[in-house]
């Protein structure tokens, strides 16, 4: 058992999978950079990868649901925080080929990409299978495909060991299974309780402030703040949509039939997507600029100072403001524009 654990936790299995996919290193004489307790240390360059051609050629039925899955941000928070509590390093290079450098300073256990790739498709499957009429087997296959491909991609890029990925999937499966019976109650609270906006705004901020202390700066705290803040904004948007009666009343009881695919439907889908992306992009640029300027002025630092942005008193507030607002814009503002345009 110990040998099996060492194997799935070690880098050799990752390197073997990469070689199977046609990936190898140009040079293997430089050791990989390891996590350093010194704040602000930059990751050392990793050997340049060389690509080769592969060897082989050739029962949730609540009619008032707003369509949100509230548990996914918490799943991501648990994953990100676990990395900085466990402090397990990512696979070293060599023997592993590192195809990403942005998050290399983060720790590896568990894989939050694998967690997201498990939580999102399976949560949508569980939330929709009794609400809409479609083959559940097809939805299950699609969810499994997304989970498998994303998980394998984290091994292919050399960012996680096999154990990191397996633990990420297992932890998420446990969390989704345990929380599933409470989804309707949580969403009812989000829509109808007068204290829901206060909780939606305060909980992400507290979780971000009291994120596990970092022994060196990485993108983990900032990315986690983005995720939970966007989730809080989405929860606030759910309350706004219900309280302002912006959620269309159902004309029948679930399960609802899926609309037939037509040119008009495809046009509306593309138009809604394009307009939504434009609104969110513009909103992000404006809100981020205003929030960063305001927070830096309060903190007494320059918004142009990249190192100052890594400070807790700067990084958390400006990301919290930006992505909380974006959650509201995405789930309340964009649908309002779509309704106004009859889309």
**Selected catalytic residue, list 160, 194, 216, 338:** 160
Active-site pick, 52, 113, 194, 338: 113
Active-site residue flag, 160: yes
Q: Residue 167, exposed/middle/buried by CB under 10 A (0-12, 13-18, 19+)? A: buried
CA 32 – CA 164 distance, rounded (Å): 19
Three-class DSSP labels, the chain? CHHHHHHHHCCHHHHHHHHHCCEEECCCCCCCCCCCCCCCCCCCCCCCEEECCCCCCCCCCCCCCCCCCCCHHHHHHHHHHHHHHHCCCCCCCCCCCCCCCCCCCCCCCCCHHHHHHHHHHHHHHHHHCCCEECCHHHHHHHHHHHHHHHHHHHHHCCCCCHHHHHHHHHHHHHHHHHHHHHHHHHHHHHHHCCCHHHHHHHHHHHHHHCCCCCCCCCCHHHHHHHHHHHHHHHHHHHHHHHHCCCCCCCCCCCCEECCCCCHHHHHHHHHHHHHHHHHHHHHHHHHHHHHHHHHHHHHCCCCCCCCHHHCHHHHHHHHHHHHHHHHHHHHHHHHHHHHHCCC
338 labelled catalytic: no
Angstrom distance (rounded) from CA 314 to CA 321: 11
Is 326 within 8 Å of 284 (Cβ atoms)? yes
| Encoded tokens for 204 | 């992400």
Q: Report the residue count for the chain.
A: 343
* Packing angle of the helix pair 263-299, 312-328 (nearest 10 deg): 150
Q: Name the pairing type of β-strands 256-257 and 132-133.
A: parallel
Q: Which residues are annotated as catalytic?
A: 113, 160
């Amino acid at each position: 058992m110990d040998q099996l654990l060492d194997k799935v936790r070690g880098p050799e299995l990752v390197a073997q999978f990469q070689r199977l996919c046609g990936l190898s290193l140009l040079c293997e004489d430089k050791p990989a950079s390891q996590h350093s307790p010194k704040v602000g240390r930059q990751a050392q360059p990793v050997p340049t990868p060389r690509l080769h051609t592969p060897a082989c050629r050739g029962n949730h039925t609540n009619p008032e649901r707003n369509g949100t899955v509230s548990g996914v941000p918490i799943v991501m928070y648990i994953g990100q925080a676990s990395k900085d509590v466990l402090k397990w390093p990512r696979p070293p290079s060599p023997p592993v080929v590192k195809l990403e450098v942005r998050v290399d300073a983060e720790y590896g256990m568990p894989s939050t990409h694998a967690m997201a790739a498990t939580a999102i498709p399976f949560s949508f499957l569980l939330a929709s299978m009794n609400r809409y009429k479609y083959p559940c087997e097809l939805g299950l296959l699609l969810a499994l495909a997304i989970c498998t491909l994303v998980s394998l991609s984290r091994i292919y890029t050399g960012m996680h060991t096999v154990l990191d990925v397996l633990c990420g999937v297992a932890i998420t499966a446990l969390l989704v299974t345990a929380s599933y019976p409470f989804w309707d109650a949580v969403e009812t609270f989000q829509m109808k309780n007068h204290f829901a906006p206060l909780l939606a705004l305060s909980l992400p901020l507290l979780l971000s402030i009291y994120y596990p202390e970092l022994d060196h700066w990485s993108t983990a705290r900032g990315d986690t703040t983005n995720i939970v803040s966007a989730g809080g904004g989405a929860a606030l948007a759910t309350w706004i949509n219900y309280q302002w009666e912006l959620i269309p009343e159902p004309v029948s009881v679930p399960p609802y039939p899926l609309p037939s695919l037509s040119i008009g439907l495809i046009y509306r889908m593309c138009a809604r997507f394009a307009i939504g992306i434009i609104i969110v992009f513009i909103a992000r640029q404006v809100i981020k600029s205003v929030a960063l300027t305001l927070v830096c002025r309060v903190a007494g630092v320059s918004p142009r100072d990249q190192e100052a942005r890594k400070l807790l008193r700067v990084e958390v507030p400006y990301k919290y403001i930006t992505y909380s607002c974006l959650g509201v814009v995405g789930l309340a503002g964009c649908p309002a524009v779509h309704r106004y345009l009859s889309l």
